[in-house]
A and B are shown apart, each in its own frame.
Chain A
Amino acid sequence: MSNEAVLHTNVEGAITHDEHHDEHHEHHHHETFITKYVFSQDHKMIAKQFLITGMVWAVLGGLMSVLFRLQLGYPDSHFPFLENILGKWWVQNGQITAQAYYALVTTHGTVLVFFVLTAGLSGTFANFLIPLQVGARDMASPFLNMLSYWFFFSASVVMLSSIFVETGPFSGGWTAYPPLSALKDASPGSGTGMDLWLIAMALFVVSSLLGGLNYIVTILNLRTKGMSMTRLPLTIWSLFFTAVLGVLSFPVLLSGFILLIFDRNFGTSFYLSDIYISGVGALPNEGGNAILFQHLFWFLGHPEVYIILLPAMGMVSEILSVNSRKPIFGYMAMVGSLFAIAILAFLVWAHHMFVTGLNPFLGSIFVLLTLLIAVPSAIKVFNWLTTLWRGNIRFTPAMMFAIGFVSLFISGGLTGIWLGNSALDIHLHDTMFIVAHFHIVMGVASMFGMFAGIYHWYPKMYGRYLNNTLGYIHFWITMVGAYLIFWPMHYEGLAGMPRRYYSYSAWESFKQFGGLNQFISTVAMIVFSVQILFLLNFFYSIWKGRKVTTQNPYGSNTLEWTAPIRPGHGNWPGEIPEVHRWAYDYAKDGREFIPQTTPVDPNEANH
């Protein structure tokens, strides 16, 4: 009996399989350009669609940050050429307008958090790695998987279109707090821009739900024979918890949006009370509460930061182990800490709301729960370091980015402990310190995880290698640049410099940071241009890169390296391989690596 048969007919024989699984087999029915590249149901193609859409957004989002850093670094300079390119709404007298500045910051945040580091990251790697690493022909439902991408695509189109409307995109921050998000007259971006923002985000929630359900079910139901949960590579565990977080937290955001839509369009006052808008007058709304939205938002918002971070953690664990030629240290502790993080992620949201007038007693409970997250985080860090310890390290670009991730996670995690204390947070909240903290621990760190994943699995994705030299250049400039950009922001924040300000010229006390801001902006531009270098490497190598000639170029244990160099739809030409051991038998019994498909030798040592 083939694995395929075991997999899709139930053991008890009570349940027969749904018909679409049959088509995963050999028989290649004719694939047109449309079914292969556009409305593809192959998880590998969908992964690439997510990746490339995510890359487009990363460039746009990155470009936005360069523009607003221009304003922060060079508030007195004029760039008339920008006016010619972007037009009067965005740039006047060669300077970014205040309205454009807020629109840029908001769109930058939304796009990078949701479109790049959620869809672009877990969309890409959950799709690519789950079936290949658990030993399945495809996702449980390839059709819903395809829909998941196309909902993301529609969300992207709507979000993109919001940039071009006359009144500009939404400009009230990625957190979309009311009243700026709830009142169409509150700011130019609060009108059409916010309508489009909400539509795009609602589509995004649907996409993330369809994707997440598929990832969870595939991991639970479609593991190949012998692949028990404790033999799964850590990538799969992390993608599993990521999907669980998404399935349980995005619906709450959706509820928040539903109430917001009614406040915007149907005269309700869920989030509104006693408001006066100059030019419009006093509003009749009474009885609502803007803080309610913050609760609903951060119930998603905090899990969201882990939705962004966990896939990076999983890939880094895998890459560190493979390239240290050592088993991951503390596998079960790694799984346990992922689990602990997933639970705690739901219990700490109010640490974003310490200064909203939250009851200090309640605040102290959230302080405790927040600081508890440091425990599983530290377990992970120690396990990564002990995996590296005395390893036979191969410094591939993927490995460099993985090590960079660990460094960034430590640096950013430590400032999290400052922020988690509600008393310290009174001073630090809404300052550049926050910006520094979350960019290092979430933004850049997860980007590093994503780069590590791309460099590592690129040969599996395209059957060719990326150029290594460009990879090292990319790594070093990004690594040094990221610290140079974000480290100084801690000092600005400690000095009280608020975030989300268009101009600081009104404060004598912040003049001292003029030079520093200039420096940060300059480095930001350099780092951005290095990302373009990476993109060139990426697209050039798809067609012209060095070809992969061996099935398992890294000497890896996981299942994706038992598939053909360029796997077709269905992944394995014959039967799906059977698994006999965990994914981390490196340097065991004098052998460098033992793939998961190798049966256990009776004389073998226990791990």
Chain B
Amino acid sequence: MATTTAMATAAPKYWSGGKSPYNVEYGKLMMWLFLMSDAFTFGALLIAYGTTRFSANGWPNPNEVFNKYPGGANAPLVFVSIMTFILIISSVTMVLAVQAGQQMNRKKVAFNLVLTILGGVAFLSCQAWEWTTLKLNEHAWWGHNPFLNSNGTVGHQDFTNFFFTITGFHGFHVFSGVIINIVMLIMTLTGFFDRRGHYLMIEKAGLYWHFVDLVWVFVFTCFYLI
């Protein structure tokens, strides 16, 4: 078809059909849309938290609640800052993995994926430690809030409820991300992507991973900083 080839060589008309207007294959577009959808899920949860807290008479002070670290207390927010740092670093290694994928460098992809997975696992372990400490030492759990409001009144019931639900939902996302990355690692090591000729799936996994990190920034801000 002469006309077709002629059109393809002319200046690309992205919206005129026959090609992807954003110049991405469908899977990546789908991932972006899924992330938008998921952003609404998190957004709704955080807004629900915000409205409840806004209309409450008092709320516990995060500096007093989150002040423990393995082997000690009285270090407000230190432990969670380390967690946050680990997660952000894992985003950096994910970027490196994606980059290596674009260069078709299997070894480097695998290496950086391993680091990313380790970062994710480290984050989840920290979260597990934080939760167990809260539960075992303070008896904080869903349906039970031992912490007083910062003004000294009996603590608002939904403080722990929202904390565990939302950080748990985020942790579940991190957990899924780790699983996805492990699958990606296996596929990389078996040479699946080399045979396929591209590492696009790593890019999609990367989008997901960055999104989960970004959400953590909001969750972190909402629960620990304000």
Contact = CB atoms under 8 A, between A and B. Distances in A.
Interface of A: 1-3, 6-7, 10-12, 15-19, 135, 140-141, 144, 209, 213-214, 216-218, 220-229, 231, 247-252, 254-256, 258-259, 262, 266-270, 285-289, 292, 295-296, 299, 575, 578-579
Contacts of A287: 52, 56, 156-158
Contacts of B55: 289
Contact of A224 (B18, B30, B52): B18
Nearest to A229: B15
B45 A10 contact: no
Given A250-B37, A266-B142, A267-B143, 12 more contacts: A15-B24, A15-B198, A140-B26, A217-B26, A220-B21, A223-B17, A227-B16, A228-B16, A248-B37, A255-B42, A268-B165, A579-B17
A-B complex: 7 closest residue pairs judged by Cβ atoms: A267-B143, A225-B18, A255-B44, A227-B17, A140-B26, A251-B41, A268-B161
A21 to B, nearest CB: 9
Interface residues of B, number: 52
Interface of B: 1, 4-5, 7-8, 12-13, 15-27, 29-30, 33-34, 36-38, 40-45, 48, 51-52, 55-56, 142-144, 156-158, 161-162, 165, 169, 196-198, 200
B20 A6 contact: no
Contacts, number: 162
A2 B4 CA distance: 8
Given A221-B26, A223-B17, A1 B5 contact: yes
Instruction: Tell me the dominant secondary structure on chain B's binding face.
Output: helix
A270 B158 contact: yes
A251 B35 CA distance: 11
A286 B161 CA distance: 12
A255 B44 CA distance: 6
Contacts of B157: 268-269, 285-288
B41 A11 contact: no
B45 A258 contact: yes
A143 to B, nearest CB: 11
A209 B34 contact: yes
20 contacts: A140-B26, A140-B30, A144-B30, A209-B37, A213-B33, A216-B29, A220-B29, A221-B26, A224-B18, A226-B17, A229-B15, A249-B40, A252-B40, A256-B44, A258-B165, A259-B48, A268-B157, A268-B165, A287-B158, A292-B51
B142 A1 contact: no
B18 A221 contact: no
A579 B1 CA distance: 14
Contacts of A19: 196
A228 B52 contact: no
A10 B161 contact: no
Contacts of A228: 13, 15-17
Contacts of B12: 11
Contacts of B44: 251-252, 255-256, 296, 299
A261 to B, nearest CB: 10
A10 B4 contact: no
A235 B51 CA distance: 39
A218 B13 CA distance: 18
Contacts of A140: 26, 30
Given A1-B5, A17-B25, A141-B30, A288 B18 contact: no
B52 A225 contact: no
Contacts of A262: 142, 161, 165
Given A254-B41, A266-B143, A292 B52 contact: yes
Contact of A270 (B13, B40, B161): B161
A6 B33 contact: no
Contacts of B197: 16
Contacts of B51: 289, 292, 295
A382 to B, nearest CB: 28
Give the most central of A224, A268, A269, A286: most B CB within 10 Å.
Answer: A268
A16 B1 CA distance: 21
Contact of A220 (B13, B22, B37): B22
Contacts of A223: 17-18
A255 B45 contact: yes
A3 B5 CA distance: 10
A289 B169 CA distance: 21
A268 B142 contact: yes
Contacts of B143: 266-269
A140 B162 CA distance: 38
A250 B34 CA distance: 12
Nearest to A292: B48
Contacts of A578: 4
A1 B33 contact: no
A226 B18 contact: yes
A554 B36 CA distance: 40
Contacts of B162: 270
A216 B33 CA distance: 9
Contacts of B27: 18, 141
B212 to A, nearest CB: 15
Contact of B26 (A222, A285, A288, A295): A222
